[in-house]
Amino acid sequence: MVSNKKLKGSFGAISKNYDRYRPDYPKKLITDIILYTKIKKSSNILEIGSGSGQASQYFLRKDFNLIMLDISRELITIAKKKFKNYKNAKYIINSFEKAKLPSDNYDLIFSAQAFHWINPNLGFKKAHKLLKENGALAVFWNLVNKDESKMLQQIEKLYKKYCPDFKPDKTDKTIKIFRNNPAFKKVILRQYPRTILFTKFHYLKLIQTFSWIASLTAKQKLKLLKEINKELSKYKEPLHIPCKTLLCMGKKK
């Protein structure tokens, strides 16, 4: 079985597809973060696990100063090209655990699709240390609603059969720890349901950016994709994928 560290680092090898096929985030979510945190143009903002900038773009386009931190040099390289005209963007290639960052410095720390990779005991403690008084931490994820789709339920069975590193989603556990963390106040949870339409080609490209598939050998991946293709052949395009984006945020006590 591949280690958590190797899984976390698997995105570099698929960086172009990660940037091209991963879905974006609801604009309402970004607005809710800004209203909750009351950040200003002069605020210091840190993003943990920025990737190629799917979430970063919303803050940069609103002229917020943003430090984008990611473990993948390949994904940061894509982000630099994408945001080359944004002087309000800075970059750090490192893990959040190892990065040396100033304490009591950030008005907002946020993490999209990444905070579950960090040991929660370390992650919340370090974020608290880095935030200014009353600064905010916001973590959010795009998730599929498999309970609303027979197709997604069947595909999950294939993940369990062919992917040794497929594990139950850790999002609920991370959110529970956040909501019960005595170091944060006014912790709230919001949900943004939506249905995303995919061509079969696009959907197959998307799932290959998931860590449990990216970490497979070529032979394992071929076998899995053949089975998923067989399942997708039962459905017409576009594929309707029910999703939800979960946002949890709280302020430093």
Render each residue's pLDDT in the chain as its tens digit; 253 residues.
333 554 444 565 588 999 999 999 999 999 999 999 999 999 999 999 999 999 999 999 999 999 999 999 999 999 999 999 999 999 999 999 999 999 999 999 999 999 999 999 999 999 999 999 999 999 999 999 999 999 999 999 999 999 999 987 889 999 999 999 999 999 999 999 999 999 999 999 999 999 999 999 999 999 999 999 999 999 999 999 999 999 999 999 9
In whole angstroms, give the CA distance from residue 108 to residue 251. 9
- 4-144+168-196+243-252 folds as Rossmann fold (3.40.50)
- Spatial CA neighbour of 12 closest among 53, 54, 51, 56: 51
Phi then psi dihedrals of residue 86, to 5 deg: -100, 110
In whole angstroms, give the CA distance from residue 75 to residue 198. 23
What does the domain layout of the chain look like in residue ranges? Answer: 4-144+168-196+243-252
Query: Is this model's pTM higher than 0.95 or not?
Result: no
Output the six-digit token pair for 86: 């944004």
Q: Is 180 helix (H, G, I), strand (E, B) or coil?
A: coil
In whole angstroms, give the CA distance from residue 221 to residue 231. 15
Q: Letter for the amino acid at 10?
A: S
Is 70 in contact with 98 (CB distance < 8 Å)? no
In whole angstroms, give the CA distance from residue 171 to residue 176. 9
**20 to 62, 78, 225: CA distances (angstroms):** 22, 11, 19
| Cβ neighbours of 139 (radius 10 Å) | 27
- Spatial CA neighbour of 77 closest among 18, 142, 140: 18
